[in-house]
Structure 1
Protein backbone atom coordinates (compact mmCIF):
# COMPACT_ATOMS: atom_id res chain seq x y z
CA UNK A 1 0.00 0.00 0.00
CA UNK A 2 1.50 3.35 -1.06
CA UNK A 3 1.06 5.27 2.18
CA UNK A 4 3.58 7.97 1.20
CA UNK A 5 1.51 8.77 -1.87
CA UNK A 6 -1.74 8.68 0.08
CA UNK A 7 -0.51 10.99 2.84
CA UNK A 8 0.90 13.36 0.26
CA UNK A 9 -2.57 13.57 -1.29
CA UNK A 10 -4.25 13.96 2.11
CA UNK A 11 -2.03 16.82 3.26
CA UNK A 12 -1.84 18.44 -0.17
CA UNK A 13 -5.63 18.67 -0.37
CA UNK A 14 -6.30 19.33 3.31
CA UNK A 15 -3.21 20.94 4.89
CA UNK A 16 -5.24 22.02 7.93
CA UNK A 17 -5.59 18.35 8.94
CA UNK A 18 -2.10 18.45 10.42
CA UNK A 19 -3.40 20.84 13.06
CA UNK A 20 -6.07 18.39 14.17
CA UNK A 21 -3.22 16.14 15.29
CA UNK A 22 -1.14 18.64 17.26
CA UNK A 23 -1.79 20.69 20.39
CA UNK A 24 -1.64 24.08 18.74
CA UNK A 25 -3.55 25.68 15.90
CA UNK A 26 -2.08 28.75 14.20
CA UNK A 27 -4.07 31.60 12.79
CA UNK A 28 -5.08 31.09 9.16
CA UNK A 29 -4.54 27.33 9.53
CA UNK A 30 -6.82 26.72 6.56
CA UNK A 31 -4.51 28.76 4.33
CA UNK A 32 -1.29 26.86 4.97
CA UNK A 33 0.16 25.14 1.95
CA UNK A 34 1.85 21.74 1.95
CA UNK A 35 4.99 21.09 -0.08
CA UNK A 36 7.65 18.44 -0.57
CA UNK A 37 10.88 20.42 -0.36
CA UNK A 38 14.38 19.57 -1.57
CA UNK A 39 17.26 20.90 0.50
CA UNK A 40 19.62 22.18 -2.18
CA UNK A 41 23.27 21.08 -2.39
CA UNK A 42 22.42 17.88 -0.52
CA UNK A 43 20.66 14.64 -1.29
CA UNK A 44 17.99 15.37 1.35
CA UNK A 45 14.30 15.79 0.58
CA UNK A 46 11.80 16.74 3.26
CA UNK A 47 8.55 14.89 2.60
CA UNK A 48 6.23 17.40 4.26
CA UNK A 49 6.62 21.10 4.97
CA UNK A 50 3.59 23.21 5.89
CA UNK A 51 4.29 26.80 4.91
CA UNK A 52 2.32 29.74 6.35
CA UNK A 53 0.28 32.02 4.10
CA UNK A 54 1.72 35.35 3.10
CA UNK A 55 1.22 38.19 5.57
CA UNK A 56 0.63 36.09 8.70
CA UNK A 57 2.53 36.70 11.92
CA UNK A 58 4.21 34.94 13.48
CA UNK A 59 5.32 32.90 10.49
CA UNK A 60 5.38 29.31 11.76
CA UNK A 61 6.71 26.41 9.66
CA UNK A 62 5.62 22.83 10.39
CA UNK A 63 7.73 19.86 9.32
CA UNK A 64 5.88 16.54 9.07
CA UNK A 65 7.13 12.99 8.71
CA UNK A 66 4.86 9.97 8.26
CA UNK A 67 6.75 6.79 9.15
CA UNK A 68 5.08 3.38 8.78
CA UNK A 69 8.22 1.25 8.78
CA UNK A 70 10.75 0.76 11.56
CA UNK A 71 13.71 3.00 10.73
CA UNK A 72 16.38 3.48 13.36
CA UNK A 73 17.88 6.34 11.36
CA UNK A 74 14.63 8.31 11.13
CA UNK A 75 15.36 10.96 13.77
CA UNK A 76 18.95 11.44 12.57
CA UNK A 77 17.68 12.14 9.05
CA UNK A 78 14.51 14.09 9.90
CA UNK A 79 16.05 16.56 12.33
CA UNK A 80 19.11 17.05 10.12
CA UNK A 81 16.90 17.82 7.11
CA UNK A 82 14.69 20.16 9.13
CA UNK A 83 17.59 22.11 10.64
CA UNK A 84 19.27 22.42 7.24
CA UNK A 85 16.06 23.82 5.77
CA UNK A 86 15.76 26.33 8.62
CA UNK A 87 19.37 27.38 8.18
CA UNK A 88 18.93 27.99 4.45
CA UNK A 89 15.63 29.89 4.83
CA UNK A 90 16.26 32.05 7.89
CA UNK A 91 14.29 35.02 6.56
CA UNK A 92 11.12 33.02 5.90
CA UNK A 93 9.99 32.04 9.41
CA UNK A 94 9.69 33.16 13.04
CA UNK A 95 9.06 29.78 14.64
CA UNK A 96 8.92 26.10 13.74
CA UNK A 97 7.49 22.74 14.86
CA UNK A 98 8.10 19.11 13.91
CA UNK A 99 5.36 16.47 13.78
CA UNK A 100 6.21 12.78 13.43
CA UNK A 101 3.32 10.41 12.70
CA UNK A 102 3.58 6.69 13.47
CA UNK A 103 0.90 3.99 13.16
CA UNK A 104 1.92 2.83 16.65
CA UNK A 105 4.73 3.19 19.20
CA UNK A 106 6.30 -0.03 17.93
CA UNK A 107 7.31 1.80 14.72
CA UNK A 108 9.28 4.48 16.56
CA UNK A 109 13.09 4.24 16.62
CA UNK A 110 14.32 2.62 19.82
CA UNK A 111 16.95 5.32 20.39
CA UNK A 112 15.07 8.32 21.81
CA UNK A 113 18.03 9.53 23.88
CA UNK A 114 20.37 10.82 21.18
CA UNK A 115 17.87 13.45 20.03
CA UNK A 116 16.23 14.07 23.42
CA UNK A 117 16.83 17.83 23.10
CA UNK A 118 14.27 17.75 20.27
CA UNK A 119 12.02 14.90 21.39
CA UNK A 120 11.52 16.37 24.88
CA UNK A 121 10.85 19.90 23.67
CA UNK A 122 7.50 21.52 22.98
CA UNK A 123 8.57 22.03 19.35
CA UNK A 124 8.40 18.32 18.50
CA UNK A 125 5.29 16.20 18.78
CA UNK A 126 5.01 12.47 18.14
CA UNK A 127 1.63 11.12 17.04
CA UNK A 128 0.57 7.46 17.31
CA UNK A 129 -2.51 6.91 15.15
CA UNK A 130 -3.69 3.85 17.07
CA UNK A 131 -3.83 5.87 20.31
CA UNK A 132 -5.98 8.75 19.09
CA UNK A 133 -9.31 7.10 19.90
CA UNK A 134 -11.92 5.00 18.16
CA UNK A 135 -13.30 5.90 14.75
CA UNK A 136 -16.62 7.18 16.10
CA UNK A 137 -15.00 9.50 18.69
CA UNK A 138 -12.27 11.25 16.68
CA UNK A 139 -12.77 14.05 14.10
CA UNK A 140 -13.39 12.96 10.53
CA UNK A 141 -9.94 14.09 9.42
CA UNK A 142 -8.20 11.92 12.00
CA UNK A 143 -10.57 9.06 11.22
CA UNK A 144 -9.44 9.37 7.60
CA UNK A 145 -5.78 8.98 8.60
CA UNK A 146 -6.59 6.04 10.87
CA UNK A 147 -8.14 4.29 7.87
CA UNK A 148 -4.65 3.84 6.41
CA UNK A 149 -3.70 1.52 9.29
CA UNK A 150 -6.93 -0.48 9.39
CA UNK A 151 -6.47 -4.27 9.07
CA UNK A 152 -7.62 -5.77 5.77
CA UNK A 153 -10.45 -7.68 7.44
CA UNK A 154 -12.02 -4.53 8.97
CA UNK A 155 -10.91 -1.84 6.54
CA UNK A 156 -13.98 -2.14 4.28
CA UNK A 157 -16.42 -1.73 7.16
CA UNK A 158 -14.47 1.19 8.59
CA UNK A 159 -14.41 2.85 5.18
CA UNK A 160 -18.18 2.48 4.79
CA UNK A 161 -18.75 3.90 8.28
CA UNK A 162 -16.50 6.85 7.49
CA UNK A 163 -18.34 7.50 4.23
CA UNK A 164 -21.60 7.55 6.19
CA UNK A 165 -20.10 10.04 8.66
CA UNK A 166 -18.95 12.26 5.83
CA UNK A 167 -22.39 12.22 4.24
CA UNK A 168 -24.22 12.95 7.52
CA UNK A 169 -21.89 15.28 9.42
CA UNK A 170 -20.42 18.67 8.70
CA UNK A 171 -16.89 18.55 7.35
CA UNK A 172 -16.21 22.26 7.78
CA UNK A 173 -14.19 23.77 4.98
CA UNK A 174 -13.17 20.39 3.57
CA UNK A 175 -15.41 19.37 0.64
CA UNK A 176 -17.18 16.07 1.29
CA UNK A 177 -16.48 14.75 -2.18
CA UNK A 178 -12.75 15.32 -1.65
CA UNK A 179 -12.79 13.22 1.52
CA UNK A 180 -14.68 10.44 -0.26
CA UNK A 181 -12.09 10.62 -3.04
CA UNK A 182 -9.32 10.01 -0.50
CA UNK A 183 -11.25 7.12 1.06
CA UNK A 184 -11.58 5.69 -2.43
CA UNK A 185 -7.85 6.10 -3.04
CA UNK A 186 -6.99 4.24 0.15
CA UNK A 187 -9.36 1.39 -0.73
CA UNK A 188 -8.11 1.08 -4.32
CA UNK A 189 -4.47 0.97 -3.22
CA UNK A 190 -5.13 -1.39 -0.31
CA UNK A 191 -7.20 -3.80 -2.40
CA UNK A 192 -5.44 -3.41 -5.74
CA UNK A 193 -6.16 -7.04 -6.67
CA UNK A 194 -9.93 -6.51 -6.59
CA UNK A 195 -11.98 -5.63 -9.65
CA UNK A 196 -13.88 -2.36 -9.96
CA UNK A 197 -17.15 -4.14 -9.22
CA UNK A 198 -15.72 -5.71 -6.07
CA UNK A 199 -14.40 -2.40 -4.74
CA UNK A 200 -17.72 -0.73 -5.60
CA UNK A 201 -19.65 -3.35 -3.68
CA UNK A 202 -17.29 -3.05 -0.75
CA UNK A 203 -17.70 0.73 -0.41
CA UNK A 204 -21.22 1.14 -1.77
CA UNK A 205 -20.00 3.64 -4.35
CA UNK A 206 -19.84 3.90 -8.13
CA UNK A 207 -16.11 4.28 -8.40
CA UNK A 208 -15.91 4.73 -12.13
CA UNK A 209 -17.55 8.12 -11.63
CA UNK A 210 -14.85 9.38 -9.28
CA UNK A 211 -11.67 11.09 -10.38
CA UNK A 212 -9.53 9.24 -7.85
CA UNK A 213 -10.58 5.82 -9.10
CA UNK A 214 -9.68 6.74 -12.66
CA UNK A 215 -6.32 8.12 -11.55
CA UNK A 216 -5.52 5.12 -9.37
CA UNK A 217 -6.46 2.65 -12.09
CA UNK A 218 -4.53 4.64 -14.69
CA UNK A 219 -1.52 4.47 -12.41
CA UNK A 220 -2.06 0.75 -12.01
CA UNK A 221 -2.27 0.30 -15.79
CA UNK A 222 0.90 2.34 -16.28
CA UNK A 223 2.68 0.24 -13.66
CA UNK A 224 1.44 -2.85 -15.48
CA UNK A 225 2.69 -1.53 -18.82
CA UNK A 226 6.04 -0.64 -17.30
CA UNK A 227 6.28 -4.08 -15.75
CA UNK A 228 5.45 -5.59 -19.14
CA UNK A 229 8.10 -3.45 -20.80
CA UNK A 230 10.60 -4.45 -18.14
CA UNK A 231 9.73 -8.12 -18.55
CA UNK A 232 10.04 -7.73 -22.31
CA UNK A 233 13.44 -6.10 -21.93
CA UNK A 234 14.47 -8.86 -19.54
CA UNK A 235 13.31 -11.58 -21.92
CA UNK A 236 15.13 -9.90 -24.78
CA UNK A 237 18.29 -9.61 -22.73
CA UNK A 238 18.12 -13.30 -21.81
CA UNK A 239 17.66 -14.27 -25.46
CA UNK A 240 20.64 -12.15 -26.51
CA UNK A 241 22.74 -13.62 -23.74
CA UNK A 242 21.81 -17.18 -24.78
CA UNK A 243 22.75 -16.48 -28.40
CA UNK A 244 26.05 -14.95 -27.30
CA UNK A 245 26.88 -18.00 -25.17
CA UNK A 246 26.20 -20.32 -28.09
CA UNK A 247 29.06 -18.61 -29.95
CA UNK A 248 31.49 -17.91 -27.12
CA UNK A 249 31.31 -21.13 -25.10
CA UNK A 250 32.54 -23.47 -27.89
CA UNK A 251 35.48 -21.14 -28.53
CA UNK A 252 36.45 -21.12 -24.85
CA UNK A 253 36.16 -24.92 -24.68
CA UNK A 254 38.81 -25.13 -27.38
CA UNK A 255 41.23 -23.30 -25.08
CA UNK A 256 40.92 -26.11 -22.54
CA UNK A 257 38.83 -24.19 -20.02
CA UNK A 258 36.32 -26.14 -17.92
CA UNK A 259 32.62 -25.25 -17.59
CA UNK A 260 33.30 -23.84 -14.12
CA UNK A 261 36.16 -21.68 -15.39
CA UNK A 262 34.07 -20.37 -18.28
CA UNK A 263 31.20 -19.50 -15.93
CA UNK A 264 33.59 -17.63 -13.66
CA UNK A 265 35.31 -15.87 -16.53
CA UNK A 266 32.03 -14.68 -18.10
CA UNK A 267 30.32 -14.07 -14.74
CA UNK A 268 27.39 -16.19 -15.94
CA UNK A 269 25.34 -18.80 -14.12
CA UNK A 270 26.90 -22.27 -14.33
CA UNK A 271 23.68 -23.83 -15.63
CA UNK A 272 23.58 -21.40 -18.56
CA UNK A 273 27.08 -22.51 -19.59
CA UNK A 274 26.06 -26.18 -19.37
CA UNK A 275 23.00 -25.50 -21.53
CA UNK A 276 25.07 -23.68 -24.15
CA UNK A 277 27.59 -26.54 -24.18
CA UNK A 278 24.81 -29.12 -24.56
CA UNK A 279 23.22 -27.20 -27.46
CA UNK A 280 26.60 -27.02 -29.16
CA UNK A 281 27.06 -30.80 -28.86
CA UNK A 282 23.62 -31.46 -30.33
CA UNK A 283 24.44 -29.55 -33.53
Structure 2
Protein backbone atom coordinates (compact mmCIF):
# COMPACT_ATOMS: atom_id res chain seq x y z
CA UNK A 1 0.00 0.00 0.00
CA UNK A 2 1.39 3.41 -0.91
CA UNK A 3 1.28 6.60 1.13
CA UNK A 4 -0.44 8.58 -1.62
CA UNK A 5 -3.30 6.08 -1.99
CA UNK A 6 -4.07 6.22 1.71
CA UNK A 7 -3.61 10.00 1.91
CA UNK A 8 -6.08 10.84 -0.84
CA UNK A 9 -8.62 8.35 0.50
CA UNK A 10 -8.09 9.90 3.92
CA UNK A 11 -8.86 13.48 2.90
CA UNK A 12 -11.71 12.34 0.67
CA UNK A 13 -13.48 10.55 3.51
CA UNK A 14 -12.33 12.91 6.30
CA UNK A 15 -11.95 16.37 4.69
CA UNK A 16 -11.71 17.89 8.18
CA UNK A 17 -8.09 16.72 8.16
CA UNK A 18 -7.32 18.68 4.99
CA UNK A 19 -8.91 21.93 6.13
CA UNK A 20 -7.21 21.80 9.52
CA UNK A 21 -3.89 21.07 7.81
CA UNK A 22 -4.15 24.22 5.64
CA UNK A 23 -5.17 26.40 8.58
CA UNK A 24 -8.89 26.60 7.72
CA UNK A 25 -10.44 24.45 10.48
CA UNK A 26 -13.75 26.35 10.46
CA UNK A 27 -14.44 25.53 6.79
CA UNK A 28 -17.61 23.50 6.37
CA UNK A 29 -16.44 20.37 4.48
CA UNK A 30 -20.02 19.73 3.37
CA UNK A 31 -19.72 22.65 0.93
CA UNK A 32 -16.98 20.83 -1.00
CA UNK A 33 -16.63 17.79 -3.20
CA UNK A 34 -13.30 15.94 -3.51
CA UNK A 35 -12.50 14.46 -6.92
CA UNK A 36 -9.54 13.45 -9.08
CA UNK A 37 -10.72 14.75 -12.48
CA UNK A 38 -9.15 13.42 -15.66
CA UNK A 39 -8.12 16.06 -18.18
CA UNK A 40 -9.13 15.36 -21.77
CA UNK A 41 -6.64 14.68 -24.55
CA UNK A 42 -3.52 15.05 -22.39
CA UNK A 43 -3.74 11.86 -20.29
CA UNK A 44 -3.45 14.06 -17.19
CA UNK A 45 -5.32 13.41 -13.98
CA UNK A 46 -5.35 15.84 -11.09
CA UNK A 47 -4.29 14.04 -7.93
CA UNK A 48 -6.94 15.77 -5.87
CA UNK A 49 -9.33 18.70 -6.11
CA UNK A 50 -11.63 20.21 -3.51
CA UNK A 51 -14.22 22.12 -5.55
CA UNK A 52 -17.13 24.05 -3.99
CA UNK A 53 -20.58 22.63 -4.57
CA UNK A 54 -23.19 24.67 -6.49
CA UNK A 55 -24.29 27.62 -4.39
CA UNK A 56 -20.86 28.11 -2.82
CA UNK A 57 -19.04 29.63 -5.80
CA UNK A 58 -17.42 32.29 -3.60
CA UNK A 59 -15.34 29.61 -1.89
CA UNK A 60 -11.88 28.86 -3.38
CA UNK A 61 -10.75 25.84 -5.36
CA UNK A 62 -8.04 23.72 -3.73
CA UNK A 63 -5.73 21.65 -5.95
CA UNK A 64 -4.06 19.02 -3.77
CA UNK A 65 -0.69 17.40 -4.48
CA UNK A 66 1.08 14.97 -2.15
CA UNK A 67 4.78 14.78 -2.98
CA UNK A 68 6.82 11.90 -1.53
CA UNK A 69 9.83 12.11 -3.84
CA UNK A 70 11.92 14.74 -5.63
CA UNK A 71 10.52 15.79 -8.99
CA UNK A 72 12.60 18.36 -10.88
CA UNK A 73 9.63 19.23 -13.11
CA UNK A 74 7.05 19.31 -10.34
CA UNK A 75 5.92 22.92 -10.75
CA UNK A 76 5.82 22.70 -14.55
CA UNK A 77 3.54 19.69 -14.23
CA UNK A 78 1.42 21.22 -11.46
CA UNK A 79 0.77 24.52 -13.22
CA UNK A 80 0.25 22.76 -16.55
CA UNK A 81 -2.47 20.57 -15.05
CA UNK A 82 -4.14 23.44 -13.21
CA UNK A 83 -4.35 25.73 -16.23
CA UNK A 84 -5.47 22.90 -18.48
CA UNK A 85 -8.26 22.22 -15.96
CA UNK A 86 -9.25 25.90 -16.12
CA UNK A 87 -9.30 25.80 -19.91
CA UNK A 88 -11.43 22.66 -20.09
CA UNK A 89 -13.89 23.28 -17.25
CA UNK A 90 -13.99 27.07 -16.84
CA UNK A 91 -14.97 26.97 -13.15
CA UNK A 92 -16.73 30.08 -11.75
CA UNK A 93 -14.41 30.50 -8.76
CA UNK A 94 -12.12 33.55 -8.67
CA UNK A 95 -9.87 32.20 -5.93
CA UNK A 96 -7.74 29.09 -6.28
CA UNK A 97 -4.82 27.59 -4.38
CA UNK A 98 -2.38 24.80 -4.99
CA UNK A 99 -1.85 22.88 -1.75
CA UNK A 100 1.48 21.05 -1.96
CA UNK A 101 1.94 18.54 0.85
CA UNK A 102 5.39 17.01 1.24
CA UNK A 103 6.00 13.99 3.42
CA UNK A 104 9.26 15.71 4.42
CA UNK A 105 11.13 18.85 3.44
CA UNK A 106 14.02 16.93 1.82
CA UNK A 107 11.71 16.01 -1.09
CA UNK A 108 11.01 19.63 -1.96
CA UNK A 109 12.46 21.02 -5.18
CA UNK A 110 12.90 24.78 -5.24
CA UNK A 111 10.83 26.35 -8.03
CA UNK A 112 12.37 28.39 -10.83
CA UNK A 113 12.25 32.17 -10.18
CA UNK A 114 9.86 32.57 -13.14
CA UNK A 115 7.11 31.10 -10.95
CA UNK A 116 7.67 33.40 -7.94
CA UNK A 117 4.54 35.52 -8.44
CA UNK A 118 2.30 32.49 -8.95
CA UNK A 119 3.74 30.70 -5.95
CA UNK A 120 3.52 33.73 -3.68
CA UNK A 121 -0.18 34.22 -4.43
CA UNK A 122 -1.45 30.72 -5.06
CA UNK A 123 0.78 27.99 -3.59
CA UNK A 124 0.87 26.82 0.03
CA UNK A 125 3.37 24.17 1.12
CA UNK A 126 3.12 21.85 4.13
CA UNK A 127 5.40 19.15 5.55
CA UNK A 128 3.71 16.20 7.24
CA UNK A 129 6.69 15.20 9.40
CA UNK A 130 6.87 18.74 10.84
CA UNK A 131 3.22 19.03 11.88
CA UNK A 132 2.70 20.30 15.41
CA UNK A 133 0.13 18.11 17.15
CA UNK A 134 -2.09 19.49 19.90
CA UNK A 135 -3.86 16.52 21.44
CA UNK A 136 -6.08 18.90 23.41
CA UNK A 137 -7.81 20.15 20.24
CA UNK A 138 -8.53 17.46 17.63
CA UNK A 139 -6.95 14.26 16.29
CA UNK A 140 -6.94 15.34 12.62
CA UNK A 141 -3.36 16.55 12.28
CA UNK A 142 -2.14 13.59 14.30
CA UNK A 143 -3.73 11.21 11.79
CA UNK A 144 -2.00 13.02 8.91
CA UNK A 145 1.36 12.87 10.69
CA UNK A 146 0.88 9.18 11.44
CA UNK A 147 1.39 8.50 7.73
CA UNK A 148 5.03 9.59 7.90
CA UNK A 149 5.88 8.90 11.53
CA UNK A 150 8.91 6.74 12.27
CA UNK A 151 8.18 3.09 13.15
CA UNK A 152 9.27 3.58 16.76
CA UNK A 153 6.77 6.43 17.23
CA UNK A 154 3.94 5.00 15.13
CA UNK A 155 2.50 2.64 17.74
CA UNK A 156 2.29 5.10 20.67
CA UNK A 157 0.88 7.82 18.41
CA UNK A 158 -1.73 5.44 16.95
CA UNK A 159 -2.72 4.29 20.43
CA UNK A 160 -3.04 7.90 21.59
CA UNK A 161 -5.13 8.85 18.56
CA UNK A 162 -7.48 5.89 18.96
CA UNK A 163 -7.97 6.84 22.60
CA UNK A 164 -8.88 10.39 21.54
CA UNK A 165 -11.12 9.28 18.69
CA UNK A 166 -13.12 7.01 21.00
CA UNK A 167 -14.33 10.21 22.68
CA UNK A 168 -15.99 11.51 19.49
CA UNK A 169 -19.78 11.68 19.97
CA UNK A 170 -20.62 10.65 16.39
CA UNK A 171 -20.45 6.83 16.29
CA UNK A 172 -20.24 6.59 12.48
CA UNK A 173 -17.44 9.17 12.32
CA UNK A 174 -15.68 7.48 15.24
CA UNK A 175 -15.66 4.10 13.51
CA UNK A 176 -14.52 5.60 10.20
CA UNK A 177 -11.57 7.40 11.81
CA UNK A 178 -10.49 4.31 13.73
CA UNK A 179 -10.55 2.33 10.47
CA UNK A 180 -8.19 4.86 8.90
CA UNK A 181 -5.78 4.70 11.81
CA UNK A 182 -5.79 0.91 11.66
CA UNK A 183 -5.19 0.90 7.89
CA UNK A 184 -2.26 3.31 8.23
CA UNK A 185 -0.65 1.05 10.83
CA UNK A 186 -1.15 -1.97 8.54
CA UNK A 187 0.64 -0.02 5.81
CA UNK A 188 3.48 0.99 8.16
CA UNK A 189 4.03 -2.57 9.46
CA UNK A 190 3.60 -4.87 6.44
CA UNK A 191 5.41 -7.75 8.16
CA UNK A 192 2.95 -7.94 11.04
CA UNK A 193 -0.21 -9.99 10.86
CA UNK A 194 -3.60 -8.33 11.28
CA UNK A 195 -3.99 -10.15 14.57
CA UNK A 196 -0.70 -8.71 15.86
CA UNK A 197 -1.76 -5.20 14.88
CA UNK A 198 -5.16 -5.64 16.52
CA UNK A 199 -3.40 -6.65 19.73
CA UNK A 200 -0.94 -3.76 19.42
CA UNK A 201 -3.73 -1.21 19.10
CA UNK A 202 -6.24 -2.99 21.35
CA UNK A 203 -8.96 -2.87 18.69
CA UNK A 204 -11.41 -5.33 17.21
CA UNK A 205 -10.99 -7.18 13.88
CA UNK A 206 -11.04 -4.86 10.88
CA UNK A 207 -10.06 -6.94 7.87
CA UNK A 208 -13.58 -6.67 6.44
CA UNK A 209 -14.05 -2.93 6.91
CA UNK A 210 -14.95 -0.89 3.84
CA UNK A 211 -11.82 1.25 4.01
CA UNK A 212 -9.41 -1.65 4.38
CA UNK A 213 -11.00 -3.42 1.42
CA UNK A 214 -10.89 -0.22 -0.66
CA UNK A 215 -7.17 0.28 -0.04
CA UNK A 216 -6.48 -3.41 -0.65
CA UNK A 217 -8.25 -3.27 -4.02
CA UNK A 218 -6.40 -0.13 -5.13
CA UNK A 219 -3.10 -1.72 -4.15
CA UNK A 220 -3.90 -4.80 -6.24
CA UNK A 221 -4.85 -2.65 -9.23
CA UNK A 222 -1.41 -1.03 -9.13
CA UNK A 223 0.11 -4.47 -9.72
CA UNK A 224 -1.86 -5.06 -12.93
CA UNK A 225 0.56 -3.40 -15.41
CA UNK A 226 3.52 -5.28 -13.90
CA UNK A 227 1.82 -8.66 -14.16
CA UNK A 228 0.63 -8.00 -17.71
CA UNK A 229 4.18 -6.99 -18.67
CA UNK A 230 5.37 -10.37 -17.41
CA UNK A 231 3.16 -12.08 -19.95
CA UNK A 232 0.12 -12.99 -17.87
CA UNK A 233 -3.25 -12.75 -19.59
CA UNK A 234 -6.02 -10.52 -18.25
CA UNK A 235 -7.83 -13.61 -16.96
CA UNK A 236 -4.68 -14.88 -15.22
CA UNK A 237 -4.06 -11.50 -13.60
CA UNK A 238 -7.65 -11.39 -12.33
CA UNK A 239 -7.30 -14.87 -10.83
CA UNK A 240 -3.90 -14.11 -9.30
CA UNK A 241 -5.07 -10.89 -7.64
CA UNK A 242 -8.58 -12.19 -6.88
CA UNK A 243 -10.29 -9.24 -8.59
CA UNK A 244 -12.81 -8.87 -11.41
CA UNK A 245 -11.69 -9.22 -15.05
CA UNK A 246 -13.31 -5.86 -15.87
CA UNK A 247 -11.25 -4.19 -13.12
CA UNK A 248 -8.10 -5.60 -14.73
CA UNK A 249 -9.15 -4.26 -18.14
CA UNK A 250 -9.76 -0.79 -16.71
CA UNK A 251 -6.42 -0.77 -14.89
CA UNK A 252 -4.63 -1.87 -18.07
CA UNK A 253 -5.84 1.13 -20.10
Contact 1:47–1:64 (CA<8 Å) still a contact in 2?
yes
Unaligned ranges ≥5, structure 1: 235-283
Q: Structure 2 length as normaliser, TM-score?
A: 0.78
Residues 1:51 and 2:24 aligned together: no
Q: Relative contact order (C-alpha < 8 Å, sep 6+): which is higher?
A: 2
How well do the aligned residues superpose, as a CA RMSD in angstroms?
3.2
Which one has a bigger Cα radius of gyration?
A: 1
What do residues 125-182 of structure 1 show as CA deviations (whole Å, max 9, x unaligned)? 11112232136366311111100001112211211111011113567x9811111111
Contact 1:130–1:146 (CA<8 Å) still a contact in 2?
yes
Structure 2 vs 1, CA of residues 156 and 221 (structure 1 numbering), >3 Å: closer, same or farther?
A: same
2: CA distance between counterparts of 1:113 and 1:189? 38
Unaligned ranges ≥5, structure 2: 234-253
Deviation larger for 206-215 or 44-53: 206-215
The aligned counterpart of 1:148 is 147
Residues 1:164 and 2:155 aligned together: no
1: CA distance between counterparts of 2:89 and 2:95? 12
Residue in structure 2 matching 1:205, options 203, 215, 224: 203
1:224 to partner: Cα distance = 9.2
What do residues 202-248 of structure 1 show as CA deviations (whole Å, max 9, x unaligned)? 211122465034555667788899999988959xxxxxxxxxxxxxx
1:87 to partner: Cα distance = 2.1
Aligned positions, number: 232
Q: Structure 1 length as normaliser, TM-score?
A: 0.70
Structure 2 vs 1, CA of residues 202 and 133 (structure 1 numbering), >3 Å: closer, same or farther?
A: same
Q: Which has the higher helix share?
A: 1
1:104 to partner: Cα distance = 2.2
Structure 2 vs 1, CA of residues 63 and 174 (structure 1 numbering), >3 Å: closer, same or farther?
A: farther
Q: 1:250-269 to 2 correspondence within 5 Å?
A: none
